[in-house]
Amino acid sequence: MLALSALPTWAILTATSATLFYVWFRIAFRERLALTAKLPGPAVYPIIGSLYLIKDSLSEFFKFAIRESRRFPEKIGKIEWMHRVAVGLWNPDDVEVILGSSVHITKSMEYRFFQPWLGNGLLISNGDTWHTHRRLIAPTFHAHVLKQFIHLFNRNSRALCERLDATSGQTVDIHDYMSEATVETLLGRAQKQNGGYEYATAVMKMCEVLHVRMFRPWLWPDWLFNLTSMGRMQKKLLHTIHSLTHEVLEKRKSERKLGVREGLYKRITKDEDDEVNGGDAEAADASGTSNGYPTGLRDDLDDDIGEKKRVAFLDQMLDVSEDGNVLTEQEVEEQVNTIMFEGHDTTASLCSFFLSVMGVHRDIQERCAEEQRRIFGTSMRPATFEDTLEMKYLERCISETMRLYPPVPLIARHATENIQLKSGYVIPEGTSIVISQYLLHRDPETFPNPEEFNPDNFLPERCVGRHFYSFIPFSAGPRSCVGRKYAMLKVKIMLSWVLRKFVVRADIPEENFRLTGDIILKREDGHPVRLYPRDMARQEGLERSPECVIQCITEYSAGSAMQRLSVTLVLAATLAAVSASPLSSADRSLVPEFFSRDPAWDGLVADIAGRDPGAKRRCETISRN
């Protein structure tokens, strides 16, 4: 008693209040707590729950969570803190119960932190508001509407390549370039204008702020958060973001007043339209393509919308807001902010991971490049919609990139009622449900050798019979990403330009990627790559990967031991050229100067690249010499 009386009054009151709240909570929510107790998960302590696990940075917690998931073979696990419970799911059967439902569509409470940024936009709205906005927006991303964007995708992809050309051979963070390019494409303007890079940087920092806030309960109250340095930073970042959105809207309103009623991006001549669409924009059909979505799984983006509803997103938003009966001006800005965020950072992440992986898997990169050559030859002409339908291998590589590195690694929902899962567990009402695409996509029961980058995972015959909810890079069900077809079309065209123009090299293998589970999946070390223009790469022997070189020379080599020795010397010189690094002094003594200087060397490189029908004969001639 003496020790207790020595405590300050406020400390006694605080401890008493906390104890009473804890007792009340245990009694009032005993049914929920009983269901929660049956769910697998780490040890839980009063008040702090499982928060003791977050000992290091949030990126380390992401890695920890991935490692811990292996302890739960039923692919479900919980984390508790204070009065909150989050249940992670990565079993496709259980995921289908949540995402496939028209009832379980309420976003988790953590999404409220997006509200100062996105308002009540499509990403975070719920109930009737979400249904109304989804019906308005979905038709603006139909395939027939997206065709009018193709000229813009081509124009900005060309501008991107011009910027990258200036970096030839230098190590750059490709995410910086991809991020700015995707912003400018969304803005419907050429690159090199002010605002795009500032916007992209502000979005990246906003995601970091939101991610940190979600894991720090003392920052949850808005009034307290706004007093912190992080709150003041958010205010500045939102000013940058919202200023650019406002600029886009005001510009489009001015154009409409002047009678420019076409879609935001369809301001091209008939000749340009014919060049992009092959003269018949309606001739191409997207059937047979996955668009990064499970084949056979349909949603509102697949519905026939009719000719009259083929209006681009921004014009549709302004049309329904003009009389104020459907959307207010504020709601229009919220939807534009949402589409700008979802259409920019996710696409930049996907393209950056793709090029980082291609820089490591050079044989796969060359198969992509060969496919582009079959479609375009040596031309750098704009891609047409029909061209994108021929990019089958590129699409498989994009899908495999999204499998291993889903741009949005987590989806969160709020359980408005008790939910019976197919695994037998029951998720209690009030629980946050976290669906991990990262774990779902690396399930060895669905994808053999799940850590290996293998585009053949998406061969049609391998996709047959695969669970629809085992691959969901754009989510799935009623709340699937409304812009997925836009994203896939844009990504295909951007990467087509880059692969036709450059050879990509990267030195960091996938197993050394330092991933962080932010709002958007990222690499802590950035995305360092080197790009070499293909005409220069062809001259220096960089165009073909070591794997391709080995295969080609193996096919050409036959006969005596002397011939095989000569081929080995050729191979040593070839690999040195491919890696753009000099031979060691020991190896150099074995390789005649002929291989690095003689014109016949350029001929051999051409042979290896498959451009000379006399390849075998010339290789044998060099071997004899």
Let me know: does 137 contact 313? Beta carbons within 8 Å: yes
pTM: 0.78
- Whether residue 417 lies inside any domain: the answer is yes
Shared-domain flag, residues 221 and 297: yes
Confidence of residue 16 (pLDDT cuts 50, 70, 90): confident
Indicate whether 144 pLDDT > 90. Answer: no
Q: How far is CA 120 from CA 35, 81, 420, in A?
A: 32, 27, 29
Let me know: does 122 contact 137? Beta carbons within 8 Å: yes
Number of compact structural domains in the chain: 2
Shared-domain flag, residues 359 and 250: yes
Confidence of residue 477 (pLDDT cuts 50, 70, 90): very high
Percentages helix, strand, coil for the chain (3-state, rounded to 5) are: 60, 10, 35
Indicate whether 101 pLDDT > 60. Answer: yes
The per-residue pLDDT for 467 is 95
- Whether residue 38 lies inside any domain: the answer is no
CA-wise closest residue to 541 among 516, 514, 573: 573
**Both structure tokens of 343:** 């259409």
The per-residue pLDDT for 69 is 86
> pLDDT: is 386 or 288 the higher one?
386
The per-residue pLDDT for 610 is 45
Shared-domain flag, residues 293 and 402: yes
- Whether residue 360 lies inside any domain: the answer is yes
**Both structure tokens of 546:** 């070591």
The per-residue pLDDT for 185 is 82
pLDDT tens-place string over residues 498-516: 999 999 999 999 999 999 8
Which helix or strand (DSSP H or E) is residue 132 part of? helix 127-137
SS (H, E, C) 63-103: HHHHHHHHHCCCCEEEEEECCEEEEEECCHHHHHHHHCCCC
The per-residue pLDDT for 535 is 74
**Alpha helices (runs of H) in 457-512, residue ranges in sequence order:** 460-463, 484-501
Q: Check which CATH number belongs to the domain holding 275 and give it.
A: 1.10.630.10
Q: What are phi and psi of 517, to 5 degrees?
A: -85, 65
> pLDDT: is 607 or 255 the higher one?
255
Shared-domain flag, residues 515 and 583: no
The per-residue pLDDT for 495 is 98
- Whether residue 316 lies inside any domain: the answer is yes
Indicate whether 598 pLDDT > 80. Answer: no
Residues comprising the binding site for heme? 481
Report the SS3 class of residue 49.
Answer: strand
- Whether residue 165 lies inside any domain: the answer is yes
Let me know: does 85 contact 433? Beta carbons within 8 Å: no
Indicate whether 143 pLDDT > 80. Answer: no
Residues comprising the binding site? 481
Region 47-74 average pLDDT: 76
Indicate whether 298 pLDDT > 70. Answer: no
The per-residue pLDDT for 360 is 94
Calculate what percentage of the chain has a pLDDT beyond 90: 43
Indicate whether 135 pLDDT > 60. Answer: yes
Report for 191-200, 425-434, 530-539: range of highest mean pLDDT = 425-434
> pLDDT: is 205 or 572 the higher one?
205
CA-wise closest residue to 488 among 292, 349, 336: 292
- Entry field: residues in the chain: 625
Show the domain range for 264: 127-533
**Both structure tokens of 309:** 């509803």
- Whether residue 445 lies inside any domain: the answer is yes
Shared-domain flag, residues 506 and 564: no
Indicate whether 618 pLDDT > 60. Answer: no
> pLDDT: is 260 or 162 the higher one?
162
Candidate from 55-69, 75-89, 133-147, 601-615 with smallest mean pLDDT = 601-615
pLDDT tens-place string over residues 458-467: 999 999 999 9
Candidate from 141-150, 284-293, 356-365 with smallest mean pLDDT = 284-293
The per-residue pLDDT for 565 is 47
Indicate whether 434 pLDDT > 90. Answer: yes
Shared-domain flag, residues 597 and 452: no
The per-residue pLDDT for 26 is 62
Q: Which of the listed residues 482, 503, 533 is the one where a domain comes to its end?
A: 533
pLDDT tens-place string over residues 109-123: 889 999 999 999 988
Shared-domain flag, residues 325 and 433: yes
> pLDDT: is 282 or 31 the higher one?
31
**Both structure tokens of 235:** 């205010």
> pLDDT: is 567 or 497 the higher one?
497
Candidate from 9-13, 76-80, 284-288 with smallest mean pLDDT = 284-288
- Whether residue 414 lies inside any domain: the answer is yes
Spacing of C-alpha 143 from chain mean position: 20
Q: Which of the listed residues 483, 501, 533 is the one where a domain comes to its end?
A: 533
Confidence of residue 287 (pLDDT cuts 50, 70, 90): very low
Indicate whether 20 pLDDT > 90. Answer: no
Shared-domain flag, residues 520 and 573: no
CA-wise closest residue to 319 among 143, 139, 490: 139
> pLDDT: is 277 or 125 the higher one?
125
Shared-domain flag, residues 516 and 460: yes
Shared-domain flag, residues 412 and 460: yes
- Whether residue 461 lies inside any domain: the answer is yes
The per-residue pLDDT for 189 is 53
The per-residue pLDDT for 380 is 92
pLDDT tens-place string over residues 206-234: 998 998 898 788 898 999 999 999 999 99
Cα(281)–Cα(285) distance, rounded to whole angstroms? 10
Q: Which of the listed residues 483, 502, 533 is the one where a domain comes to its end?
A: 533
> What's the chain's average pLDDT?
78
Shared-domain flag, residues 612 and 513: no
Shared-domain flag, residues 555 and 529: no
Identity of the residue numbered 382: P
Structure-token match 């695409």, residue found: 437
Calculate what percentage of the chain has a pLDDT beyond 70: 70
Structure-token match 């081509």, residue found: 154
